Chains A and B, each alone.
Chain A
Amino acid sequence: QKEVEQDPGPLSVPEGAIVSLNCTYSNSAFQYFMWYRQYSRKGPELLMYTYSSGNKEDGRFTAQVDKSSKYISLFIRDSQPSDSATYLCAMAGGKLIFGQGTELSVKP
């Protein structure tokens, strides 16, 4: 079983849609949960960072962590074509593990 599972997509949505990206994990030692965004031909950039369970909101982005279910989510409201990128979940707790990334395309 992989430590972090992420649906690779691709995921295609119309502009304005609500997007839900998800990851599951198996290691209870993870304490820090991140979402990185990677545009084509660029390196990943940290988008959201949360510690332990709960929600964190930043503009149109909401990161949600449910440690009891070992499940994290990233919600994008009012999605824009500029949100088209690969989104990588990552988790840390002694070591840092990345998901394989979900490719998102937002169509105008």
Chain B
Amino acid sequence: ETGVTQTPRHLVMGMTNKKSLKCEQHLGHNAMYWYKQSAKKPLELMFVYSLEERVENNSVPSRFSPECPNSSHLFLHLHTLQPEDSALYLCASSQESSTGTANTGELFFGEGSRLTVL
């Protein structure tokens, strides 16, 4: 496989369920990201992992819990979500410079996991 792979592609869950989204990148990158995409709104950065260490957490509610066991895998654990959390969740990866978070904007995205919370 190549690129960034996300599973599942679609997920329907109740507000009391616990589920996880998975992302795997085959590009040898050293940074991974979770974004939330809602209709008619800009992409919202949720979490950034650089060299498996979380470097950014944009005031995301604790019902979203990320995990990055290694540089190729990223998870987003979901529990007690709200209907307004329904959205497309995108994983992305990039290669950061050796000096740190250069973030030149060259991200490689997966196809996303479409989440519906009932």
B-contact 0/1 string along A14-52, CB 8 Å cutoff: 000000000000000000101000000111111001000
| Complex Cα spacing A8 to B4, Å | 27
Stretch of B13-21, B78-86, B101-109 with 4 or more beta carbons under 8 angstroms from chain A: B101-109
Q: A43-B4, A43-B90, A43-B110 are in contact. Are A34 and B105 (CB under 8 A)?
A: yes
| Complex Cα spacing A94 to B40, Å | 25
A88 contacts the other chain (CB 8 A): yes
Main SS class of interface, A: strand
- Asked if A100 and B41 sit within 8 Å, CB to CB, the answer is yes
Among A4, A45, A92, point to the contact of B109 (Cβ < 8 A): A45
Q: Report the contact-size class of chain B (Cβ under 8 Å from the partner).
A: 10 to 19
A71 contacts the other chain (CB 8 A): no
Chain A, residue nearest B43 (CB):
A98
- Residues from chain A with a CB closer than 8 A to the CB of B109 are 43-45
Q: A42-B111, A44-B90, A45-B109 are in contact. Are A4 and B42 (CB under 8 A)?
A: yes
- Asked if B105 and A91 sit within 8 Å, CB to CB, the answer is yes
A97 contacts the other chain (CB 8 A): yes
Residues of chain A in range 72-104 having any CB-CB distance to chain B below 8 Å: 88, 90-92, 94-101
Among A42, A43, A96, A99, point to the contact of B103 (Cβ < 8 A): A96
Chain B, residue nearest A46 (CB):
B106
Question: Which B residues lie at the A interface, using CB under 8 A?
Answer: 4, 6, 40-43, 45, 90, 92, 103-112
Question: Which A residues lie at the B interface, using CB under 8 A?
Answer: 4, 8, 32, 34, 41-46, 49, 88, 90-92, 94-101
Residue pairs across A and B with Cβ atoms less than 8 A apart, 27 shown, are A4-B42, A34-B105, A34-B106, A42-B111, A42-B112, A43-B4, A43-B92, A43-B111, A43-B112, A44-B43, A44-B107, A44-B109, A45-B109, A46-B106, A46-B108, A49-B105, A49-B106, A88-B42, A90-B105, A92-B105, A94-B103, A95-B103, A96-B45, A96-B103, A96-B105, A98-B43, A99-B42
